[in-house]
Amino acid sequence: MKFPVLFYVVVTTLLLVTITIAAAMDMPLNWVFFLTCIGQVFVVIMVYKVLRDNYTTEKTFKDFYEDYPIGDVDNYR
C-alpha cells in the first residue's frame, strides 16, 4: 500500500509531540527512550520519503512568495 507523503509527516510529528508530552509528565525513562529511538527512525523515513517524492511545480524563483508578490507592488513614495 502506498501512503501519501503527508501521512509520514503527520505520523512523525504526532510521535514526537507524544514523546515531548511523555517526558513532561515524568513517564518512565525506558518508555521515553524507546519512543525516542522509534522517533529517530521515523524522522529518517520521513525525510527520505519527502525527498524522493515525485512533486513538480510550475513556480520559479522569480515568483518569490505567494503571499507577498513583489512584481505587483506599487511604490507609493
Q: What is the pLDDT of residues 10-46, one digit of tens each?
A: 999 999 999 999 999 999 999 999 999 999 999 999 9
Instruction: Classify residue 61 by its DSSP letter.
Output: G
Q: What is the residue type of 40?
A: Q
Distance CA 68, CA 54 (A): 27
Q: What's the whole-model pTM score?
A: 0.72
Distance CA 72, CA 47 (A): 35
